[in-house]
Chains A and B, each alone.
Chain A
């Protein structure tokens, strides 16, 4: 097995971009990633691309140049970026290719995601009944968790306030205004206990990552970052996932716990070795629960960690240093790759004012998406 390095990163800013198609944002990210690696599109041997609502990614070759490469489209809900990365990682690791690219972009209409449910029956009784909203799942999961483990409403606000503070220092972020915890708590209640500013919004943006065999990485970058592992897991019986008309009586671990355990095992490191982490924060409760599900603390410990500022940029374990989904919004195809982009910047020591001060060597990303899928990566320099 060949080791894999990330040698070029490119991003189109997240947010709302009138008059710029989602695919164009993806193409801009690709050109920037190639430029960062000192190559052109002609040097790319393969691509994996993801987009939910901005067109089939492989159509992008007409903008970038018709070089005849294999360009595979991937789709796994909010975890699409994780799947593109997993695929690219294994394409190189297997020895089939020397250098390729993972691409994600999207452009969603305003408002909550339109429920897209298939319940097995001909009629969409689930959506018609006023169920099937992803926001409901997030509300129920954190509400249940808060009662089980003593997490407060204030902690939900702390997570969101941190996200907007970090976003304010990120020129690529959508939401760049800091908000106070009280403003967050007092905004409209969307799905109890989660308020408007505790939720991320569907948005727009693009990210691309050039990856190559580790033994040739120095040809392209003076500071290659190594992808130690990339893991994707679907749900097992008994887990509690988004848009489920029923759950089993018995409880089983969710896909995040499974993906995290496998990633640590494959990379040969543990949670204590991680210097910076980007965790799926579809809403602020998700970041809290994902801290424990990814092995960074015990259930309930988050309450004190947040009060102490452990997950701030200068804290013991900085989490979502670029503002996460809350400040960047969520263009589904691009979201998981944004996390890796941020970790590459952090490991290169190139994150500017939001650089974590602990001279980071190992970094962690986690995405979660419908209908219950998680993707984890571990990077090191």
Chain B
């Protein structure tokens, strides 16, 4: 497997223990946001602390991206002949927030609200050095069948 590079270190860190999403937590009211931002959307405060978000959760809402997005900005495959639809959904990270991300599953019959998901990465394209530029995605936890 070729070396991987994150789409943005500010939102996605690739660690030896796997991918990690970086958000922020409000020191005043405990609200979580992703990506990190300077102000709190809940209490309007501005004491935000950088945090690593949880990597497991449950699927809250989903759709399937059925056509190639415009490029730019999209870095993945946009050729009509080879484009593969991909899932998009919100995953509830317990006690924190819901994160929007790609899903590794793109079959409507295999997606169901409430199913358990975990954080992984998917390659978008190679960079100039032949490394995979990756973004984050959620994949159904093994043994989970809708």
Contact = CB atoms under 8 A, between A and B. Distances in A.
Given A112-B70, A115-B73, A244-B100, A129 B7 contact: yes
A247 B98 contact: yes
Contacts of A123: 7-8, 10
Interface string B20-62: 0001000000011111110001100000000000000000111
Interface string A215-249: 00000000000000000000001000000111111
A211 B88 CA distance: 44
Interface in A190-226: 190-194
Interface stretch (A2-10, A24-32, A141-149, A348-356): A141-149
A248 B88 contact: no
Contact of B89 (A121, A124, A140, A249): A140
Nearest to A246: B34
Contacts of A272: none
B76 to A, nearest CB: 5
A128 B71 CA distance: 8
A109 to B, nearest CB: 10
A128 B74 CA distance: 4
A345 B146 CA distance: 50
Contacts of B136: 129
A247 B93 CA distance: 11
B72 interface: yes
B97 interface: yes
Interface of A: 111-112, 114-115, 117, 119-125, 127-133, 136, 139-141, 143-144, 147, 188-194, 237, 244-249
A114 B131 CA distance: 27
Contact of A136 (B63, B74, B75): B63
A119 B66 contact: no
Nearest to A243: B100
A133 B90 contact: no
13 contacts: A112-B70, A119-B11, A140-B89, A143-B61, A144-B61, A188-B67, A189-B64, A193-B108, A246-B23, A246-B100, A247-B100, A248-B42, A249-B98
B64 A192 contact: yes
Contacts of A120: 35-37
Given A190-B67, A192-B66, A237 B113 contact: no
B90 A247 contact: yes
A180 to B, nearest CB: 21
A248 B69 CA distance: 26
A121 B92 CA distance: 23
A121 to B, nearest CB: 4
A192 B61 CA distance: 11
A115 B88 contact: no
B61 A141 contact: yes
B56 to A, nearest CB: 15
